[in-house]
Amino acid sequence: MHSSPDDDTLPRGVADLSMQTDSEQASPPPSRERRQFLTLSAAAAAGTLTRPGFAQGRDFGQGFVWGAATSSYQIEGAAARAGGGVSVWDTFCKRPGAIRDGSSGEIACDHVNRWRDDVTLMRELGMRAYRFSISWPRVMPDGTGAVNAAGLDFYDRLVDALLAAGIEPWVTLFHWDYPEALHKRGGWLKDDSPDWFAKYTTAVVKRLSDRVRNWMTLNEPEIFVILGYQLALFAPGEKLSWSEVLRISHRVLLAHGLATQAIRATSKQPCQVGCASALQPAMPATEQPADIEAARRATFSGMAAWLMEPMYAGSYPQAELKAWERDVPRFPASDLRTIHQPLDFFAANIYQAATVRAGADNKIEQVPRLPGHPRTLMDVFDVVPGGLYWGPRFYYERYKLPIVITENGTSVPDWVALDGKVHDPQRIDFMQRYLRELARARNDGAQVRGYFAWSLMDNFEWAEGYRQRFGMVHVDFATQRRTPKDSFYWYRDVIRSNGGNL
């Protein structure tokens, strides 16, 4: 059974995780990786791999990038309120039933007006880095052509304020708020679409690259392509055929490649470029070599592999090419060279992991979660800290790039207590467990350079509206009052001690 492109019942977070579970499996990694795999599995067999919870290895090393993340549509307030254009999310939110609580990002955290106070909070947290995204329609109302000066000015001032606070900006160029004007012209289905993105990228980089050194082209192509264009769960809410979805994916990958070239050509200083993928790595059910190999194969399969492999390895994965043969678009070989740009880090958004084992005939078997497995408020995200061990380990092993966790965090039902504070022990426990696993990955040889908590503050959680609170800062959406949660102070200590309190 291959990934199920036709299954429109997959909830968010599952669509991208579909795995090969039969003989049509991804090609084995090149021999270099094979050798490393043999070493690692020999160590596992000899029982030398550390287990979760061990005190050893909580050392994150010098210069570790401790940060938090947000995105434009989720916090700023609609771009159209300040001379910007309409995004597909503005339109999608108006569709009856699209957003669980009927809300939108029209005001969100009103960050566009309150950014100074928000930077003050960031400084209090002691963040070394802030990952935020630029709203394409705020900068270019029509998606291409004329620039909205007020839009670029906003980011310009934000960057200055961050640097003055000692916080390094990490900028994502596209976190899903696609210009409605371009969508009306055919959007990602159009041949021109990668070029539109590259031009917008150039305008932003021209303005900010004297101060910004860290760039991410896209946020989670896996999610916005599948949920937005196949399942209609996210903007723009389309239900296209699988061949159209694969055409869109290809253009999105080309957009990444062209934007990467544009950043390097335009940047006023040496810079680091990456692309933040939505990943659900697979963990082995045991540390037996066969299970580890099953987990590795599952990690590099399905839609995740479809989007990662061209970017990092320069080709589409064989098994998926075969399984989706009928629907794969025709393209010139040069496209893969454009997509496969050298990148400086591997950016991974990881919230959870699947568990697999090796079955009969070399098949990968998914191990179901036990009843009562710890869950978060967000239905699709279970608590599986091992994802921050096995993910970084497998991705580093295969792509040999420093790993940056660009999102990780949780939604729990917290509120302002009678004492005026927000007590979120579950978030603290969640982050502590995940960060211990990340330290263990580092200890076992994966080069891990940074960690960004999702999120700095509660915000508009897409189709869930305001029902989910992922922030370390509580936001009262009626008054816009910010209240740092207990996790805020705890994370401040993590940063101060460089993970020493984990």
Which residues between 24 and 83 bind ligand FCB (CB under 6 A)?
71, 74
Q: Is residue 463 within the footprint of ligand FCB (CB under 6 A)?
A: no
User: Which positions from 405 through 434 interact with ligand FCB, judged by CB under 6 A?
Assistant: 407
Instruction: Select from 123-131, 216-224, 296-304, 368-376 the region that touches ligand FCB (CB under 6 A).
Output: 216-224
- Residue 404 phi, psi (nearest 5): -125, 120
Looking at the Cβ atoms of 115 and 224, the one nearer to ligand FCB is 224
Q: In sequence order, which residues have a C-beta less than 8 Å from that of residue 182 and are 6 or more positions away?
A: 142, 143, 144, 193, 196
Instruction: Quickly tell me which residue has 């967000």 as its tokens.
Output: 378
Instruction: Kindly give the pairing relationship between strand 354-358 and strand 364-366.
Output: antiparallel
**Closer to ligand FCB by Cβ: residue 71 or 104:** 71
Q: Is 355 helix (H, G, I), strand (E, B) or coil?
A: strand
Scan for tokens 């880095």, then name that residue. 129
Residue 407 or 437: the one with the smaller Cβ distance to ligand FCB is: 407
Nearer to ligand FCB, 407 or 414 (CB): 407
CB of 276 within 8 A of CB of 347? yes
Q: Is residue 172 within the footprint of ligand FCB (CB under 6 A)?
A: no
| 223 binds ligand FCB, rule: CB under 6 A | yes
220 is catalytic: yes
Query: Does residue 454 bind ligand FCB (CB under 6 A)?
Result: yes
Report, in Å, the least distance between residue 278 CB and ligand FCB: 5
Burial level of 371, CB count in 10 A (0-12/13-18/19+)? exposed
Sheet bearing 282-284, strands edge to edge? 282-284, 354-358, 364-366
Query: What is the phi/psi pair of residue 214, to 5°?
Result: -120, 120
DSSP category for residue 329? P
Q: Which two tokens stand for residue 463?
A: 């189709």
Give the separation between CA 84 and CA 285, rounded to whole angstroms.
49
Residue 451 sits in the site that holds ligand FCB (CB under 6 A): no
Total number of residues binding ligand FCB (CB under 6 A)?
Answer: 12
Residue among 170, 466, 470, 488 that touches ligand FCB (CB under 6 A): 470
Tell me how far apart the alpha carbons of residues 197 and 119 are, in angstroms, rounded to a whole number: 28
Residues 335-354 that bind ligand FCB (CB under 6 A): 349
Residue 407 annotated to the active site: yes
Q: Binding string, 348-387, against ligand FCB, x = CB under 6 A?
A: -x--------------------------------------
Residue 92 interacts with ligand FCB (CB under 6 A): yes or no = no
**Which residue, among 66, 255, 278, has the nearest Cα to 178 in the 3D structure?**
255
Q: Is residue 222 at the binding interface for ligand FCB, with CB under 6 A as the rule?
A: no
* Contacting ligand FCB within 235-294 (CB under 6 A): 278
Other CB atoms within 10 A of residue 47 CB:
8
Window contacting ligand FCB (CB under 6 A); options: 115-123, 218-226, 296-304, 360-368: 218-226
Q: What would the two tokens of residue 336 be?
A: 């893969």
Of residues 218 and 364, the one with the C-beta less far from ligand FCB: 218
Binding residues vs ligand FCB (CB under 6 A): 71, 74, 219-220, 223, 278, 349, 407, 454, 461-462, 470
- Catalytic positions, written as ranges: 220, 407
